Amino acid sequence: MRTHPLSKWLTQGTYPRLYVPIVLIMVAVTLVRYHALVGAEREEAQLRMRAELQAASYAVLQVLDEPAGNAAAQERLRQAAQVADAPIQSIRWELPFRPAVDLRNAMPPTKAPPWFVQLLDLPTPRHTVAHRLADGRTGQLALALWPQHYVDRAWSAMATQLRITALNIFTILLLLTLILRANDRMLDRMRHAAERFKQGHLDARIHRTGTLEAREIADTFNDMAGKVQSLVLSLQETQRQQNEQLHFRRQLVNALPLPLFVLGADGAHLETNKAWRELLNASRPSTVAGTLDQLWADGVDSSIVLAQRLSDRPSGWQATVRPLQGVPHEMACYHATFTAPDGVPAGTIGVLVDMTEHTQALQAERADRACAEAALDAVADGVITIDAQGLVRTINGAAQRVIGLAQGQTVGRHVDEVFRLEPPHSVLPAAAAQGHAAHGAGAAATAILACHSGAPRTVDYSVAAVHAPDGTAVGHVLVFRPR
């Protein structure tokens, strides 16, 4: 059983907050009721005393028809007191010129408690009456009654009312106790259910028993608990789905062959994938900040936030990445800003594309082109390369000197505008003139070339088609020699 300090019980307990006001009200009502009841009993006792006093006087006077003063008068007074049937305290009978006759009775025992006697406060009833005898004389009778008899009768009535009042109060307090006990049991069940609910037992419910209020409270709690359970289960299911999606996303990110990194809005590291760590020989994902610093080999201040660095550069910029171990890589960094559901930028996601082989291929192609251009410049014949649309792509030095145009004035122009023949006709075969590359090498021909910086000259020329590895014609080569 739970116990609490008396001060807390008096200020916060259910019983004093209900019992004390009810008891005070009952005490106040009882005091008012019994105050009125005592007043009514006092008035009733006084009326009864007056009536019995008059009846006793009349009974005594009926006996006193002889002169007083002798033993017979004393006996008649005693007989009259017995006949009166009243609690006579004293009787005094007087006749003129005769000694008075007195009769006194002992005080009877009282049953009422002293405090009730004082509360009722009944005075001793006295009555004096004159009586004319048959011989013409007038006697005076003084009669007094004991008030204790009437106090006892009033106390008997009050005791009956007190027993009825005590029974009523006991019944009221008993019913109130039963109600409070039922409420206390209901609160105790609700407390236990709430504690189990807090401990994670979402199926905790209150049994629907007891009073109407207890059943209503149980229904309310059970409805609330059911809704909370549904909400928690829904949140758990959502969290499970999010965890599955997160796990799938991580597996997908790790399965990507491209190195990937994710930065927060403040540049803090969020995540990298397996390819990133393998590329940079980083054993921990937290090395993203250090490895990103390696992308800037241009002396940029390292205190700049990484996200700001990325925002200052266009997506696709290239840099040399130098891992902790291994050879450097030429990488292209592609990055984009991702946002939160409310549209606020949340960070940056980026990937690195290994451009090493591509860069090496471009460098080899440039070297080959430089060698080819040097070889063409060393040839005494004029050589012009033409694409599939008939536009000049390259022209060697011998051709520039014969035609009279520099390379910048010829590249990108149609070959017929650069290599002008007289009479005017296309140097390319008929199929190439219509937008299709011719196949095979053309026969050598002789024609007059209208030079741009001098007199026309007779040249011998030939045109050969250029094919891709798959056999597709991609252009022509024009070779000519002036006579």
Q: Which of 404, 402, 416, 415 is nearest to 459 (CA)?
A: 402
Lowest mean pLDDT among 206-215, 388-397, 401-410, 460-469: 206-215
Kindly state the average pLDDT of the residues 279-288. Answer: 55
Beta strand ranges found along 174-275 (DSSP E): 260-264, 269-272
What value does the mean pLDDT of the chain take? 79
Query: What is the CATH T-level fold of the domain 259-354, as seen in this structure?
Result: Beta-Lactamase (3.30.450)
pTM listed for this prediction: 0.45
Is the distance from CB of 393 to CB of 410 less than 8 angstroms? no
Dmax (CA) of the chain: 207
pLDDT at 285: 46
pLDDT at 434: 41
Name the band, by pLDDT with cuts 50, 70 and 90, for residue 230. Answer: very high
Phi, psi of 128 (to 5 degrees): -120, 130
The structure tokens listed for 160 are 């009956």
Could you identify the residue written with the tokens 């789905």? 241
Name the band, by pLDDT with cuts 50, 70 and 90, for residue 231. Answer: very high
**Between 14-63 and 148-198, two packed helices, what is the crossing angle to 10 degrees?**
170
For residue range 75-104, list pLDDT tens digits in order: 777 776 666 677 888 888 887 777 777 778
Residues listed for the chain: 483
Lowest mean pLDDT among 148-152, 432-436, 460-464: 432-436
Statement: residue 416 has pLDDT above 50? yes
CATH number of 375-482: 3.30.450.20
Q: How many CB atoms lie within 10 A of CB 377?
A: 12
Q: Which of the 8 DSSP states describes residue 13? A: -
428 three-state secondary structure: coil
Q: Which of the 8 DSSP states describes residue 210? A: S
Q: Which of 89, 83, 150, 158 is nearest to 122 (CA)?
A: 150
For residue range 109-132, list pLDDT tens digits in order: 888 898 888 888 888 888 888 888
Q: Concatenate the DSSP letters of all residues of 273-330 into one string.
A: -HHHHHHHT-SSGGGHHHHHHTT--S---TTS-HHHHHHHS-TTEEEEE--SSS--EE
Statement: residue 291 has pLDDT above 70? no
For residue range 19-68, list pLDDT tens digits in order: 778 888 888 998 999 899 989 988 998 898 888 888 888 877 777 765 54
Name the band, by pLDDT with cuts 50, 70 and 90, for residue 311. Answer: low
For residues 263 and 345, what is the distance between their CA atoms, to the nearest angstrom? Answer: 11
pLDDT at 2: 57
Q: Enumerate residues 6+ apart whose C-beta is below 8 A from 57.
A: 127, 129, 141, 143
Torsion angle in degrees (nearest 10) through CA of 433, 438, 440, 441? 10
392 three-state secondary structure: strand
Considering the chain, what percentage of its residues have pLDDT values greater than 90?
7
For residues 47 and 55, what is the distance between their CA atoms, to the nearest angstrom? Answer: 12
Phi, psi of 338 (to 5 degrees): -105, 150
pLDDT at 124: 87
